[in-house]
Amino acid sequence: MLLTLDIGNTNITIGCYEGKRLSFVSRMATDRSRMEDQYAIELRDILDIYGLRAEDVTGTIIGSVVPPVTTYITKAIKKITGLEPLVVDSKTVSDLNVLLNPPEALGADLIAGCVAALELYDGPCIIWDMGTATTVSVIDSQGSMRGGCIIPGVGISMEALTTRTAQLPAISMEAPERVIGTNTVDCMRSGLIYGQACMIDGMCDRIEEELGVRCKVIATGGLAREIVAYCKRDIIYSCNLLLEGLRILYEKNK
C-alpha cells in the first residue's frame, strides 16, 4: 500500500493506494504545535480505523507547504512504518517543464496538481486549488507549466470580512437563491459564492486570451465544490487531484 500525505496550511489530507485504486481518504488538522509522537499516534489510529496496519504500508510520499510540520510527519511515518518518505520538492522527478523564474519556486502542492492534471486530463488546462489560499496553475499546449496566480482563499476572505467589520456576522458557506441579496446574510453569501464563481469565470477568460487557446478547467480543494457549481464555465471537479499527483510522482521516482 502507498501512503500519500498532502500537508496544507489548514488540513493534512491522507490517502492510501492499492495500485491505482484509492482505498480511503482521511484528514487531520495541520497543527504546528504537535510533535512527531503525536502525529505518529494519529496516523496509526487512522490506519487502524480503515483496517490497515503500519506493516501494510510499502511506500509513502509527502507533498507539503508547511515545512515545520513536514519534519514531524516524516519522523512520525518512520516511527510507525520504518520507511523513509519521499518528500516532493523541485528536485523530484516529475517530467514537468516549469517556466517559472526560478523553476524551483513551484511548491509541492502545485507540482502534484500539475502532474495529475497532465496525466488525467492533458493540456492545455487551468488548475484551481481552492484551499486556505486559492492558487491557479496554467499548463499550455506543450505541457509546460507557464505560471499562474495566487488569490486569498474563500475562508480567508470570509474571516477578514467578519473580523474587520463591526456589524457583519459569521456565516455558513451556502449560496442564496438570488444574486441580489435582501438581507445581510444573503448579501454576504452572494458576494462570497457568486463573487468567487464570477472571478473564476473571468480569470479563465483572461488566461485563455493570453494563451490564445481554449483550456480545460480543473478545480480541487476543500471549498471548490461549493463554488464551481455556480460558475458558467464547464469545470471538472477533482477532489483528490493532489493525492493522484502524489501517487504518480511516487511511481516516477520509485
Integer Cα distance of 159 and 39 in angstroms: 28
Name the residues annotated as catalytic.
109
Same domain (yes/no): 72, 119: no
Same domain (yes/no): 101, 38: no
End-to-end CA distance of the chain: 14
DSSP-assigned beta bridge partners for residue 185: none
Give the residue from 87, 114, 137 where a domain finishes. 87
Same domain (yes/no): 188, 159: yes
Cell readout for 253 is 521516482
Residue 252 lies in a domain: no
Q: How far is CA 55 from CA 3, 51, 70, 198, in A?
A: 12, 12, 22, 48
Q: Kindly tell me if the per-residue pLDDT of 164 is higher than 90.
A: no
Same domain (yes/no): 106, 74: no
DSSP-assigned beta bridge partners for residue 80: none
Domain with residue 239: its CATH number is 3.30.420.40
Tell me the per-residue pLDDT of 56-74, one tens digit each, with 9 for 90 and over: 999 999 999 999 999 999 9
Please report which confidence band the pLDDT of residue 165 belongs to, taking 50, 70 and 90 as the band edges.
confident
Give the residue from 65, 87, 109 where a domain finishes. 87
- For the chain, the domain total comes to 2
Tell me the per-residue pLDDT of 199-221, one tens digit each, with 9 for 90 and over: 999 999 999 999 999 999 999 98
Same domain (yes/no): 215, 167: yes
Share of the chain above pLDDT 90, in %: 81
Q: Kindly tell me if the per-residue pLDDT of 233 is higher than 90.
A: yes
Give the residue from 63, 87, 111 where a domain finishes. 87
**Is residue 59 classed as helix, strand or coil in its secondary structure?**
strand
Handedness of CA 7, 12, 13, 14 (dihedral sign): positive
Q: Print the domain residue range for 165.
A: 97-246
